[in-house]
Amino acid sequence: MRTMTKTMTVIKTITKTKTKTKTRFFSSLMGLLVLWGTSAYSQPTLEQKVTEPIVQNGPMVGYSEMLEVALWIQTTRSADVYFTYRESDRPDTLWRTTNKVKTLKEHAFTATLICDQVLPGRRYDYQLWVDGKWVPLELPMHFQTQSLWQYQTQPPAFQFATGSCTYINEERFDRPGNDYGGNYKIFEQIGNREPDFMLWLGDNIYLREGDWNTRTGIQHRYTHGRGVPEMRKLLAKTHHYAIWDDHDYGPNNSDGSFTKKDLTLQGFMDFWANPSYGTATTPGIFTQFQWADCDFIALDNRYNRSANGRLDLGGARTILGEDQLNWFLENLLYSKGSFKFVPLGGQFVNSAEVFENYANLAPEERQKIIDFIYLHDIKNVVFLTGDRHHGSMSKIEKNGEPTIYEITVSPLTSGPHKPKNEYENGELVKGTMLSERHFAIIEVSGDFGKRKLTVRAYNTEGKELWNKSISQEE
């Protein structure tokens, strides 16, 4: 009897142990399902924090749509990464999760992840997770979705920052002499203006002689440039879109013959989070997106261009290439945007036949675009350009035809350049020539059909240098 009692006690102990083990197993399983599913129920604990230096650069907020937002990150090694996010003004709501991605050396350990459980017109906070652990970052980490205003309200007012030519010094690879880059605090000044998004107008990095021929060099240059401490807050809290020019495409003044352009294209896609890159049949970085009631038709002026100064092509000289040119013109014609912004690496409106101005390299293609705008009476076209290391506002005015505008914002941190005689820019708007580092804030406001565009240029100290307004043509 004593033996039987002892046996029963052992059986009960084993059963109880199995039950506890089973309970712990299902508890762990449910925890994983919550973590990897659509939401997490609480803030991460201290035990869940990553303690090693795992973040190389970022996070950065990419494109924004009504039901989708992109987030970007770069790690120091290969790792599984994802983000959690929830509405900023509803801390009692559940955390949602993005897809999970493994960062790879081939792509410089970068990843773009998608927040696809969002609603229009909301603001969200987000957190980074690496290898299943929370990475606490002392940064303002939030994003917004675009508003569903159509057929319901007036279009929302919005503002965006823009600029070009970002040179970040690296002594061991720079040319001897004075630093070419500087005043990185300009990125803090941009962030202080709280723009809805930042539009980078090319030469966002400067590939050096040791960079542009290899994947290793291209990745190094992007990684080094993205690591500026003054840029971190701007990247983490503001949406970003970008185009390129020669210095993030290849060598100075490079064209479609550059043999490593597929490598620089991959580098661009790895380090930016645009909504698209080229088309299914035509490679490049050109893309199109909307913000509120405005269209942005962003162009690639490098991948398919003919060689500068090639004389035998005559009227066939091109900046965009035939396929992209047709894509651009059809997007212009289709656009219903109150303003139609055209980001482009080099100047278009300025008719001075100097350097890499459109008028100097492909005047026939430039005129074809202007004639197309006139033929179809396309109003409110605004080119946004960089490249020149000085800033200005220009416009083409012709009686009875829509006015075509150009806002050139350059440089951000590269060495500024003072032009001689303003290169006889007959399209220059008086009082807008700048020969110092600066950025611009462009605001769109007013009722639908009567929108107003206001441009303000600021220096590295945040001082306003000039402002101009453009009223929507009806």
pLDDT in tens, 197-238: 999 999 999 999 999 999 999 999 999 999 999 999 999 999
pLDDT in tens, 293-351: 999 999 999 999 999 989 899 889 999 999 999 999 999 999 999 999 999 999 999 99
- Spell 50-70 as b/e; 16+ CB within 10 A means b: beeebbbbbbbbbbbebeebb
Give the angle subtended at the CA of 389 by the CAs of 217 and 382, to the nearest 5°. 105
Sign of CA dihedral 53, 56, 57, 63: negative
* Mean of pLDDT over the chain: 91
Q: Where are the beta strands (DSSP E) in 244-331?
A: 287-291, 294-298
User: Position of tokens 């550059």?
Assistant: 258
Whole-prediction pTM value? 0.90
Burial of 354 (0-12, 13-18, 19+ CB in 10 A): middle
Q: Is the pLDDT of residue 26 over 50?
A: no
pLDDT band at 355 (very low <50, low <70, confident <90, very high): very high
pLDDT band at 396 (very low <50, low <70, confident <90, very high): very high
Across the range 361-378, mean pLDDT stands at 97
pLDDT in tens, 403-416: 999 999 999 999 99
Q: Is the pLDDT of residue 473 over 70?
A: yes
d(CA 452, CA 339): 9
Taking alpha carbons only, the member of 233, 270, 272 closest to residue 138 is 233
Report the amino acid identity of residue 401: E
Tell me the DSSP string of 167-181.
----TTTSPSSS-S-
pLDDT at 435: 95
pLDDT at 309: 86
Across the range 106-126, mean pLDDT stands at 98
pLDDT at 5: 42
Report how far Cα 218 is from the mean position of its chain's Cα atoms. 18
Taking alpha carbons only, the member of 74, 68, 118, 115 closest to residue 93 is 118
pLDDT in tens, 141-172: 999 999 999 999 999 999 999 999 999 999 99
Q: Is the pLDDT of residue 13 over 70?
A: no
pLDDT at 419: 79
pLDDT band at 46 (very low <50, low <70, confident <90, very high): low
HSE-up of residue 46 (Cα within 13 Å, Cβ side): 0
Report the amino acid identity of residue 34: V
| Out of 128-137, 257-266, 291-300, 417-426, least confident range | 417-426
* Domain 46-144 class in CATH: mainly beta
Q: Is the pLDDT of residue 95 over 80?
A: yes
User: Position of tokens 């490249």?
Assistant: 387
Given CATH 3.40.190.150, say whether it is the number of domain 158-471.
Answer: no
Specify which residues 135 forms β-bridges with: 128
Task: Quote the percentage of the chain above a pLDDT of 70.
Answer: 89
pLDDT at 297: 99
Q: Is the pLDDT of residue 353 over 70?
A: yes
Tell me the DSSP string of 67-120.
S-EEEEEEESS--EEEEEEEETT-TTSPBEE---EE--GGGTTEEEEEE-S--T
d(CA 438, CA 190): 10
Report the amino acid identity of residue 269: M
Task: Return the higher-pLDDT residue of 54 and 53.
Answer: 54
| Out of 48-52, 55-59, 242-246, least confident range | 48-52
Q: Crossing angle, helix 322-334 and helix 363-375, to 10 degrees?
A: 20
Q: Is the pLDDT of residue 53 over 90?
A: no
Joined tokens for residue 97:
């999760």
pLDDT at 422: 55
Judged by phi (left if over 0) then psi (alpha if -120 to 50, else beta), residue 164 lies in: beta
